[in-house]
Amino acid sequence: MSAESERKTETIPEWKREETDELAAFIGRYQSVGVVNITGIPSRQLQDMRRELHGSAELRVSRNTLIERALAEGEDGLERLAEHVEGQVGLIGTNENPFGLYQQLEESKTPAPIGAGETAPNDIVISEGDTGVDPGPFVGELQTVGANARIEGGSIKVVEDSTVLSAGEEVSADLANVLGELGIEPKEVGLDLRGVVSEGVVFSPEELDIDIDSYVEDLRTASSAARNLSINAEYPTARTAPSMLARAAGEAKSVGLSAAIESPDLVDDLVSKADAQLRSLAAAIDDDEALPEELRGVEPTDDAPSDGDDGGAADEEPTDETEADGESDDDADDDADGGDALGDMFG
């Protein structure tokens, strides 16, 4: 350390050193640490937010220079958070998922009135309808700020949705008064996460703002597609083997029915199939005298299994059709080898 640095260190007041050490200890207690914007939040509301975070996250407010110093002493990308330390900010720490932290902070935001001189966070719209205000000068104030309003039925009404200010524009005193009179609160007050570091990775708010339901649905779709691919490619895994075995059993049963193989497992289906064929034949004969009495007037039935029916053996089938229509002798040999390998795999 240079002599100049030593002199600067010596001039740091003790309370600043202690505060920096406490901030460093705060940072070290949590797996995820972020910088939040607290501009414009009243102290009372800020205390309420602290209580809401209790048990899942902790908020620490200090001087920006001391926060920057504590972050600079950290590791795993914490020093990169210093670029977000501007204006009124605080540190937030949690041992939970940073995505969950972002969602919690967004859901905790509450509507609030906007004051003159502030910037509109989004388009400000005065909706169509009865304002509930008695006829008077207020109709002129509405028209002044750009709302299409008039007196109807003994009260002031806005006759159509009126955009009175676009996002990014400054709120005038007249508009602030009108919005206050109507009870319109166009902004949200809460902790804005500017950036967070978790396990050495720096996340921006845009990266943390994901649709959880859509993300879960994408995972389900990907899982289903992978499962179908495994089954169609005849690649056994712990999750696909039961369906593959059930599918093979169903195909074997179909072959047995088609070839009329006399097996104890097929007897019932073979009898049902023969009965159905007999009934269909009897129904096709117009001369009742040519039929035994018990077959006269019978109707054909579709209840019997056909040659392609697996008898319900396979509980699930893949959705993608990737199987070939036939197989060569080489393919048959490969299948036989694959069957031996499958037998070895499952004992």
Strands (E), the chain: 32-37, 58-60, 89-94, 110-112, 124-126, 129-130, 149-152, 155-158, 162-165, 187-189, 192-198, 201-203
Measured in degrees and rounded to the nearest 5, phi and psi for residue 208 equal -90, -15
Residue 123: per-residue pLDDT = 93
Residues 92, 97, 99, 104, CA torsion sign:
negative
Q: What percent of the chain has pLDDT over 70?
A: 81
Residue 77: per-residue pLDDT = 82
Residues of the chain with pLDDT under 50: 1-8, 310-347
Residues 78, 79, 83, 87, CA torsion sign:
positive
For the stretch 45-90, pLDDT in tens is: 888 888 889 889 999 999 999 999 999 888 778 999 999 999 999 9
For the stretch 282-328, pLDDT in tens is: 777 777 666 776 777 667 666 556 555 544 444 444 444 434 343 44
Residue 166: per-residue pLDDT = 93
Residue 323: per-residue pLDDT = 40
Residue 7: per-residue pLDDT = 44
For domain 3-109+190-210, is the CATH number 3.30.70.1730?
A: yes
Residue 214: per-residue pLDDT = 86
* Sequence ranges of the domains in the chain: 3-109+190-210, 124-184, 215-345
For domain 124-184, is the CATH number 3.90.105.20?
A: yes
Residue 304: per-residue pLDDT = 55
